[in-house]
Structure 1
Amino acid sequence: MGNVQQVKREQCHTVIPNKSGKCIFTECKSACEKLKKPVASLCLPPKTCRCYHFCS
């Protein structure tokens, strides 16, 4: 086995009250940055903002 790469994919999300209609990245972003750069982030704003950070 030559290229054995451990890919750690973690999906963290935060639910924040949607006030300005924008998603505010806070704890989730910090948690992801500790691992590596977030490769994707999705904001789904109904009444609350769900921020998904897919970290690899």
Structure 2
Amino acid sequence: MLSKYQQIYEDLKQKIEKNEIQANTLLPSENELMNIYQSSRDTIRKSLSFLQLTFRN
């Protein structure tokens, strides 16, 4: 089973890859993501850090 930050990371990554979230656009704010995923700021930040590494140019 994936940890919460991994689940969030995978969900956001999939949405970007399927163009549900457009490349080179802003993601929802940390507060919005906290509400969407019912997670702490630390968990959201960890997910975003991994996402940033994945899509780094």
TM-score (norm 1): 0.26
Q: Which of these two proteins has the greater Rg computed from alpha carbons?
A: 1
In proportion to residue count, which structure has more helix?
2
In proportion to residue count, which structure has more strand?
1
TM-score (norm 2): 0.26
